[in-house]
Amino acid sequence: MPIIEMTREQYDALKDEVESLTVKRSEIVERLKQAREHGKFMLNPEFDAAQKELADVKSKICDIESRLKNAIIVERIDEDPGQFLNHVQIGSLVRVRYTETGEEEEFTVTSDAGKFAGEGMLSAETPVAKALMRRCKGSKCNVKCRDGTTYELEILSVKNPV
């Protein structure tokens, strides 16, 4: 699995999720153990559902632990304080304008599309985020779409976590 850049908040959220899933896994194992002790597992749809749930939880834990193992926490560079303060990076809240239409959009650049993607979030793996990374307010960049077309964005503002 490739290295995954994420903010401290994203890393901590994933650690919390692993802890929660670990507790859930223990509860499911206990339910299965009790069902076995009482001989209730033969042709029991609830037992089968619990086994599937256990497999799903184990899979999620494994996936998240793998992401955590390959994570790099993205912090502001200390060599020159403020050097990248106004540059787009993981965790940046970015406001852009599509130069062709004048339409504006605001989103937070995230490292993990699956866990943190959603309304107002943009994975760093998308063509838009890749084009914006390390650019600052006032910069313009061309975004190349998967279908080969391109469009231009102008960065109106960049707010980074402190």
pLDDT digits over 65-100, tens only? 888 887 767 654 444 445 556 788 888 899 999 999
Higher pLDDT, 39 or 157: 157
- Predicted TM-score (pTM) of this structure: 0.52
pLDDT tens-place string over residues 98-154: 999 999 999 988 876 555 556 788 888 888 888 888 888 888 888 888 888 889 999
pLDDT of residue 29: 93
Show the CA angle centred on residue 127, arms to residues 123 and 130, nearest 5°.
Answer: 75
Cβ count within 10 A of residue 74: 22
pLDDT of residue 84: 53
What are the residue ranges of helices labelled H in 38-160? Answer: 45-69, 113-116, 127-132
Higher pLDDT, 47 or 108: 108
Are 40 and 65 in contact, with CB atoms under 8 Å apart?
A: no
pLDDT of residue 62: 92
